[in-house]
Structures are given as structure tokens and as C-alpha cells.
């Protein structure tokens, strides 16, 4: 393409109206929705360039996940479902922040530097959450995509994991699944129903749960799932879209506040779940007969999955290298359990799904979960091939073949393209069903250390910089020493401070052996952050 065809760029409607710089952060660009139109237009342009470079379809998702309704955001999804490559995050940040008069020259520069063949067709697969601002932002992105002659395949309102799935299926030409929403629901629900077969309840396990959908897109997806699941799982949905998005509900609220969501009919000792605003996170919880709240978070989900996979591998006499990837927000007890009881390697990486996903790819079977409930399991192609062979191998015993067949169905139930609240829910339900467990039985796997997370507004969060997967402050000088001094006074104490990559706040996480010490520990640390 000759450069003169860039003459309609920038589009007058989408000029840069804000002078503040914005960063491609933990999950793309996120800020107040009304400051994002030019960002979406430019990300549309960039998605086309990325698609041409990779000669594959690229995803563009409009969401701000668990953030408040007035925020919004955008992220690009690479061809195999991964988050955008780090070097392109820098390109994106630069492109979004340049002056309008430098936009064309910046595009030309990217084309030259990345050696982009502009004659290659570009496909951008778009999706959005239920936020009021999302349609306007989608229009801006589409204008950007069309300005560089890209092809738009819009799937409308979808969950973030559904969009990852659609990108992967489009690029792998049906190897992973059918690139439609129907294909997504069929793939996951058929595998779920097959494992359960005719026996819907088992032991203490009852096939019914309460679900808080955060008033987000997850409510739409769950209702759709219900059609495919039939009577195999009864899901009672609360916060299904009529209330305010993520307001006192959803997985982030329940995990951080450690209380049930609003507008939720709590049933004592009853299995309940909360998903977040774009349905990529899930936590389980229940309230006991003494009104005590119990949370079973991403760590508990990861350990449950790891233990079950280990059992199935043993039963099928298959041997693969299992690994579990966490972040520093993982409860210390979960890491001890993984290392000492499950005897599986546990690796800690920086916050943000891309770090977990990339690390998990290093194992034959890599399980990754953030404590907030965002995670999935990745199986190497060679592993899947071996399991498939085991299912039909006449030299194997019936037991071995059955275990291998269960493994295969579990693989089909998992959205390997990214953490997916609904796929994770089907997986947890399958495991609890297989074990005949209720939620109390599952909780007994290990006891969480008392823990707390708070958000702090500071004048400028960029003053705090960190190292060692976000657990040690480098600046401001002296801050880490002060934190270490406080933490050393608490038994099994651990506390760290890092600036959020998705909100204009600083996060403080603390855990220690005694619940009665926890508030003091976190308050003392908060007082030195000011």
C-alpha cells in the first residue's frame, strides 16, 4: 500500500482530546470511558498492523472487567489467544499518545520498523462487554480498522474468554473448535455432560449452585449455557444485569471484601459463586450456620484441579510434568500445600495473566491461577496426543482407559485460550461431582492464612516502583526497609505494596498466622506508604 492512502488519518471525529499519557497496562488500556475514543480509534489502526505482521486474525476486546461502570478499556489478543506481545505494548503506548499531527508518521514508522507487508489482508475480531460506553468505543475501533482497510468480524456482546476462544478457532481453522459462540457452548457443555452422564448428584455433591454475575456480560453467557446444560446443573443467577455493574458484587468485590455480594439470596452452607464483569474470573464462597463467610478463591480452585489431574494421571498410568503458576497474592498456605502435599512445582510470577500464561506453557500440563480467580490449565499438544492414544489403546486396562477418557473430556471442557470463569466453573463442578464433595469438604484441603488486601489512593502511584515479581519496593527509598521492619514482628507475616496496573491506586496485601494481628499489620504498612 502506498502511504498516500493514509490521507484520511487522523479522523477528525477521533482526535486526541486529552493530553495525559496513557499506558498499555496489566490488561491493555483502561481509564474513564470518556477519555478513550481516540485510543480505540488508534487501537483499531494498530490491530490491522498487528494482523498483517502475524498474517492472522487479531482480537480486540472492549472491557474494563471488574472496574466501575464509568471506566472502560481495550486490549488486543494475539493469534494464539495470548495477550499482545510485550514489544507491541510499547508500540501501542507510543501510538496512542502521539499528537494527531504525528499519527501518520508514527504509522509509517511502525510499518517500516516492523517490516509490514501492507498487501496482506487483515482481520480483526471484535467484541465488547455490556458497558453503556462500549458501542461508541466499538464504532471508534471499527473506524480505525477500516481506515487501514482491515476486515472487521464483530461478535457483539461477548465475555473476554469467548473472544479469546473465537480468535484461536478462527486462526486454527477448527482444530481447537468451531469459531462461533454456538461452537463454544457446545464444546464445553458436551464435555461436561459426558463426564457426568446420567448420575447428576453424587455423595455430598448436589448439582445446584447460586451464581452472582456482577451485572455483567457473564449473566448473558450463563443464561445461554443453561440451554446447553439442560438439567445437568441448576444455576440460580443473581445480579443478572439489572443492577449496577460490579457495584458491591462480582468476583473482585467478594474476594477483596470477603463478604457475599448484594442482592444475593444467601443459603447456609450452600455452594455459591461470583464471576466478574467480563466473566474471566471466578471465586466460590459460602456462609455457614454461624453467619461466617468462607471464600474458596483462585488458589483453592488451582489446588483442587492440580490434585484431581494428578489422580487421573496416576489412574491412567500416564506420566507428565505438572506445574502450578501463581502470583505473590497467592495465600502462603496454598503454596505450602502444592509443594509439600501435592509435591508439584509451584512458580511465582509477576501479576498479570500474560506472565502466568507464558510460564505455564513451560510445563507438559501447566495450571495457572491468580488468587482473584483468573486462571486455566494448558496442555501441550504432545500430551493431548498421548492421552488420545491411551483412550483407544487395546493393551491398556479398562480403568486406565476410563481415566484417560475422563482426562480428554476435561481438556475439552477447559478454555485453554485464557482464564474463563464459566469453563472453570464447569471444571470445578466436575471435580466436586467426581469426588462426591460439598463445598465444606473441598475447603478442608488446607486452611488459608488470614489475609487482607486494600487499595490506597496516593498522589502519584508511579513513585512506587517494584522488583522481585512486585513484592519488593525499589522506590521511594527506605519504604521497603520500613515494610520489612513491620512484617518481621508477625508470625508467618508477609506483606507487599505495588502500584496497580489497571486502576489509579496502590495495592497492599498482607497475611499472617493470627487473624487478630492482620488489621494492625496492614494498617502499619499503609501508614509508611503515605
> Where on the chain is the footprint of Zn ion (CB under 5 A)?
65, 276, 278, 280
Give me the least distance between CB of 158 and ligand NG1, in Å please: 17
Q: Determine the residue with CB nearest Zn ion.
A: 65
| Contact range with ligand NG1 by CB under 6 A, out of 125-133, 149-157, 263-271, 370-378 | 370-378
Asked whether the beta carbons of 58 and 152 are under 8 A apart, the reply is no
Compare residues 30 and 271 and give the one whose CB is closer to ligand NG1.
30
Residue in 9, 11, 26, 406 binding ligand NG1, rule: CB under 6 A: 26
Query: Should residue 370 be labelled a site residue for ligand NG1 when binding is judged by CB under 6 A?
Result: yes
Both ends of the chain: CA-CA distance in Å?
53
Neighbour-count burial for 142-160, b at 16+ CB within 10 Å, e otherwise: bbbbbbbebebeebebbbb
User: How far does Cα 101 stand from its chain's mean position?
Assistant: 37
Compare residues 161 and 501 and give the one whose CB is closer to ligand NG1.
501
Compare residues 433 and 461 and give the one whose CB is closer to ligand NG1.
461
Cell (9 digits) for 245:
455493574
Query: Should residue 502 be labelled a site residue for ligand NG1 when binding is judged by CB under 6 A?
Result: yes
Give me the least distance between CB of 28 and ligand NG1, in Å please: 9
Query: Should residue 274 be labelled a site residue for ligand NG1 when binding is judged by CB under 6 A?
Result: no
Q: Which of 51, 65, 133, 316 is catalytic?
A: 65
Give me the least distance between CB of 153 and ligand NG1, in Å please: 24
Task: Read off the DSSP letter of residue 57.
Answer: -
Give me the least distance between CB of 255 and ligand NG1, in Å please: 8
Residue in 38, 374, 406, 461 binding ligand NG1, rule: CB under 6 A: 374
Q: How far is the CA of 473 from the CAs of 261, 349, 466, in angstroms?
A: 33, 16, 4
10 Å CB burial of residue 230 (0-12, 13-18, 19+) is: exposed
Bridge partners, 235 (sequence order): 209
Give me the least distance between CB of 27 and Zn ion, in Å please: 8
Q: Say which residue the cell 467480563 belongs to.
A: 278
DSSP 327-368: ETTS-HHHHHIIIIII---EEEE-SSHHHHHHHHTTSSEEEE
Q: How far is the CA of 382 from the CAs of 243, 320, 362, 385, 405, in angstroms?
A: 46, 10, 13, 5, 16
Cell (9 digits) for 347:
512458580
Bridge partners, 283 (sequence order): 274
278 binds, among Zn ion, ligand NG1, none (CB under 5 to 8 A by kind): Zn ion
Rounded CA separation 32/400 (Å): 54
Q: Which helix (H) or strand (E) holds 59?
A: strand 58-62
Using CB under 6 A, which residues numbered 323 to 352 contact ligand NG1?
A: 329, 351-352
To the query of whether residue 462 is one of the catalytic residues in this protein, the response is no
Give me the least distance between CB of 256 and ligand NG1, in Å please: 8
Query: Should residue 75 be labelled a site residue for ligand NG1 when binding is judged by CB under 6 A?
Result: no
Compare residues 77 and 95 and give the one whose CB is closer to Zn ion.
77
Compare residues 59 and 501 and give the one whose CB is closer to ligand NG1.
501
232 binds, among Zn ion, ligand NG1, none (CB under 5 to 8 A by kind): none
Compare residues 27 and 62 and give the one whose CB is closer to ligand NG1.
27
Four-residue CA torsion sign, 175, 178, 180, 186: negative
Give me the least distance between CB of 277 and ligand NG1, in Å please: 10
| Contact range with ligand NG1 by CB under 6 A, out of 295-303, 357-365, 436-444, 494-502 | 494-502
Compare residues 164 and 507 and give the one whose CB is closer to ligand NG1.
507
Q: Which of 161, 120, 127, 116 is nearest to 59 (CA)?
A: 127
Using CB under 6 A, which residues numbered 383 to 442 contact ligand NG1?
A: none
Bridge partners, 295 (sequence order): 285
Instruction: Kindly determine how many residues on this chain lie close enough to bind ligand NG1 according to the rule CB under 6 A.
Output: 14
Return the active site residues: 65
Site for ligand NG1, rule CB under 6 A: 26-27, 65, 329, 351-352, 370, 372, 374, 500-503, 507
Amino acid at each position: 500500500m502506498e502511504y498516500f492512502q493514509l490521507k484520511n488519518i487522523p479522523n477528525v471525529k477521533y482526535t486526541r482530546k486529552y493530553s495525559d499519557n496513557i499506558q498499555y497496562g496489566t490488561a491493555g488500556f483502561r481509564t474513564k470511558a470518556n477519555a478513550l475514543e481516540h485510543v480505540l480509534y488508534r487501537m483499531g489502526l494498530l490491530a490491522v498492523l498487528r494482523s498483517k505482521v502475524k498474517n492472522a486474525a487479531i482480537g480486540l476486546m472492549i472491557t474494563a472487567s471488574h472496574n466501575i461502570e464509568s471506566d472502560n478499556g481495550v486490549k488486543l489478543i494475539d493469534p494464539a489467544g495470548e495477550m499482545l506481545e510485550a514489544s507491541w505494548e510499547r508500540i501501542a503506548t507510543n501510538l496512542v499518545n502521539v499528537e494527531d499531527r504525528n499519527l501518520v508518521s508514527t504509522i509509517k514508522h511502525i510499518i517500516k520498523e516492523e517490516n509490514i507487508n501492507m498487501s496482506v489482508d487483515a482481520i480483526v475480531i471484535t467484541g465488547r462487554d455490556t458497558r453503556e460506553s462500549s458501542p461508541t468505543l466499538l464504532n471508534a475501533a471499527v473506524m480505525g480498522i477500516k481506515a487501514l482497510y482491515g476486515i472487521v468480524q464483530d461478535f457483539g456482546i461477548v465475555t473476554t474468554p469467548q473472544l479469546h476462544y473465537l480468535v484461536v478457532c478462527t486462526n486454527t481453522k477448527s482444530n481447537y473448535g468451531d469459531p462461533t459462540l454456538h461452537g463454544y457452548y457446545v464444546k464445553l457443555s458436551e464435555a461436561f455432560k459426558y463426564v457426568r452422564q446420567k448420575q447428576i448428584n453424587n455423595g455430598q455433591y448436589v448439582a445446584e449452585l447460586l451464581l452472582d454475575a456482577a451485572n455483567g456480560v457473564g449473566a448473558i453467557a450463563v443464561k445461554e449455557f443453561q440451554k446447553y446444560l439442560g438439567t445437568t446443573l441448576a444455576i440460580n443467577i443473581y445480579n443478572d444485569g439489572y443492577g449496577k455493574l460490579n457495584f458491591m458484587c462480582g468476583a473482585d468485590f467478594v474476594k477483596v471484601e470477603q463478604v457475599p455480594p448484594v442482592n444475593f439470596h444467601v443459603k447456609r452452607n450452600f455452594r455459591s459463586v461470583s464471576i466478574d464483569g467480563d466473566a474471566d474470573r471466578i471465586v466460590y464462597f459460602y456462609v455457614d450456620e454461624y453467619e461466617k463467610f468462607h471464600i474458596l478463591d483462585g488458589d483453592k480452585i488451582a489446588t483442587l484441579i492440580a490434585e484431581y489431574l494428578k489422580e487421573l494421571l496416576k489412574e491412567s498410568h500416564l506420566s507428565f510434568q505438572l506445574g502450578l503458576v501463581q502470583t505473590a497474592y497467592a495465600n502462603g498456605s496454598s503454596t505450602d500445600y502444592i509443594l509439600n502435599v501435592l509435591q508439584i512445582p509451584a512458580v511465582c510470577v509477576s501479576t498479570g495473566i500474560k506472565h502466568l500464561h507464558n510460564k505455564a506453557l513451560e510445563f507438559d500440563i501447566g495450571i495457572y491461577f491468580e488468587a482473584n480467580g483468573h486462571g486455566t490449565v494448558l496442555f501441550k499438544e504432545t500430551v493431548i496426543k498421548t492421552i488420545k492414544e491411551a483412550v483407544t489403546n487395546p493393551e491398556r486396562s479398562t480403568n486406565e482407559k476410563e481415566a484417560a477418557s475422563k482426562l480428554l473430556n476435561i481438556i475439552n471442557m477447559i478454555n485453554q485460550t485464557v482464564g474463563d470463569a464459566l469453563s472453570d466453573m464447569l471444571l470445578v463442578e466436575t471435580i466436586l461431582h467426581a469426588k462426591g464433595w460439598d463445598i465444606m469438604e473441598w475447603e478442608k484441603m488446607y486452611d488459608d492464612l488470614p489475609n487482607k488486601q486494600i487499595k490506597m489512593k496516593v498522589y502519584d502511584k508511579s513513585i512506587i516502583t517494584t522488583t522481585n515479581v512486585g513484592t519488593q519496593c525499589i522506590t521511594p527509598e527506605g519504604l521497603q526497609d520500613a515494610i520489612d521492619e513491620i512484617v518481621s514482628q508477625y508470625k508467618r507475616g508477609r506483606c507487599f505494596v505495588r502500584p496497580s496496573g489497571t486502576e489509579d491506586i496502590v495495592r497492599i496485601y498482607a497475611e499472617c498466622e493470627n487473624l487478630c494481628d492482620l488489621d494492625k499489620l496492614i494498617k502499619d504498612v499503609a501508614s509508611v506508604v503515605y
